[in-house]
A = this chain, B = another copy of it.
Amino acid sequence: MPLKADLDAIDWKILRELQGDGRMTNVELSNRVGISAPPCLRRVKRLEEAGIIRGYRALLNAPALGLDVVAFCLIGLHHQADAELRTFAERTRGWPIVRDAWMVSGESDFLLHCVASDLGAFQTFVIEELTSTPNVDTVRTALTIRRVKDEGLVSFAQP
């Protein structure tokens, strides 16, 4: 189970390339990183099995699918005991509007990344779901105007 220390320059190149295009063929990938196809495939498999590559995902165009509203919600709870935090975390998984969610420290307890078809649907969610959820204290929302940067995890130079 290789960790960061076991990765060499070729592994970092592989991660960078697959992050840019996760559906690239193995021969194309092997050309870009400078080795032949079989060892390249073995490296990718190893990175997957080690959990360094968690998976692959198609990126979808939200507006083209009729999802015009992207927003973030900062949630503050009344009580932050472990059970309450778990309860709220579980609840976020049942809300399809919530794309991904983080437990955070600071002024708020949770940050929710939300996608909705329109402003009405989002407001309905905030009012009828979020604020009416037990233990929810504060809800601050930030509607997104546009994305100004969208990169993967490894965007910087690596050894």
**A binding-site residues for B, Cβ under 8 Å:** 3-4, 7, 15, 18-23, 50-62, 64-67, 70, 72, 74, 89, 92-93, 96, 98-108, 110-111, 115, 140-156
Contacts and interface: CB of A to CB of B under 8 A. Distances in A.
Given A64-B3, A104-B145, A153-B115, A57 B59 contact: yes
A60 B154 contact: yes
Contacts of A50: 64
A70 B153 CA distance: 11
A157 to B, nearest CB: 8
6 tightest Cβ-Cβ pairs between the two chains A and B: A96-B156, A22-B56, A18-B58, A89-B148, A104-B142, A101-B149
A100 B147 contact: yes
B151 A100 contact: yes
A127 B20 CA distance: 30
Contact of A111 (B22, B142, B156): B142
Contact of A23 (B22, B103, B108): B22
A89 B52 CA distance: 30
Given A72-B102, A89-B148, A61 B56 contact: no
Contacts of A15: 58, 60, 65
Given A72-B102, A148-B103, A96 B155 contact: yes
